Amino acid sequence: MLEKPLAFTPVNPEDIAYIIGLFETQHPLCTELREEFHRHAIAVQLAEGKHLLHQGQRCHYIYFIRAGALMAYSLHKHKKITTYISVENEFVSSLSGLYGEEPSWEAIVAVEPKMVLGVHTATLQNWYQRFFDLNFIIRKVYEDYYRDA
């Protein structure tokens, strides 16, 4: 399948501030990392039924769902198998293809109209090296996500 690039929309600084506020419920962010989020975040608006990612594509972004809901599914023997549903205020990415290293086994589609913010995984990996506190925050986010799942 050919990878069709997503259309990015302008990022609302208030949305980034909102995510930073959620992160800071776990641990404060330094000024430099706050600025990095504002500099590198992208926004994607999806209509209901539109794909954020198709099965077999590489996922090069970690997304935050600002509004709406997403469903991930895999096709197995021509049957759609739902692997997870994520809603507003949750993070989403390919679980099988995290960081874009392997093609994704799942597709991610909008269940209702939605807006997501994203950061490229290479940028995120760089931040892990530069901002040790982010490792703690992301670990807490993942723990909460899996506990809720």
- What CATH number does the domain containing 28 carry? 2.60.120.10
Is residue 7 one of the residues assigned to a domain?
A: no
Residue 14 resides in a domain: no
Q: Which pLDDT score is estimated for 96?
A: 78
Query: Quick check: is 95 in a domain?
Result: yes
Overall domain count for the chain: 1
Give, for all 149 residues of the chain, the pLDDT tens digit: 444 567 888 899 999 999 999 999 999 999 999 999 999 999 999 999 999 999 999 999 999 999 999 999 998 888 999 988 999 999 888 877 777 788 999 999 999 888 999 999 999 999 999 999 999 998 888 787 777 65
Residue 12 lies inside a defined structural domain of this protein: no
Q: Is 53 within a domain? A: yes
- The answer to whether the beta carbons of residues 43 and 76 sit under 8 Å apart is no
Q: Rounded to two decimals, what is the model's pTM?
A: 0.87
Rounded to whole angstroms, what are the CA distances from 112 to 5, 27, 57, 70? 20, 31, 22, 7
Residue 8 maps to a domain: no
Domain that holds residue 118: 24-148
CA-based end-to-end distance of the chain: 30
What is the phi/psi pair of residue 75, to 5°? -95, 125
The answer to the question of residue 1 being in a domain is no
Measured over the CA atoms of residue 132, residue 25, residue 15 and residue 99, the dihedral's sign is: positive
Q: Is residue 47 part of a domain?
A: yes
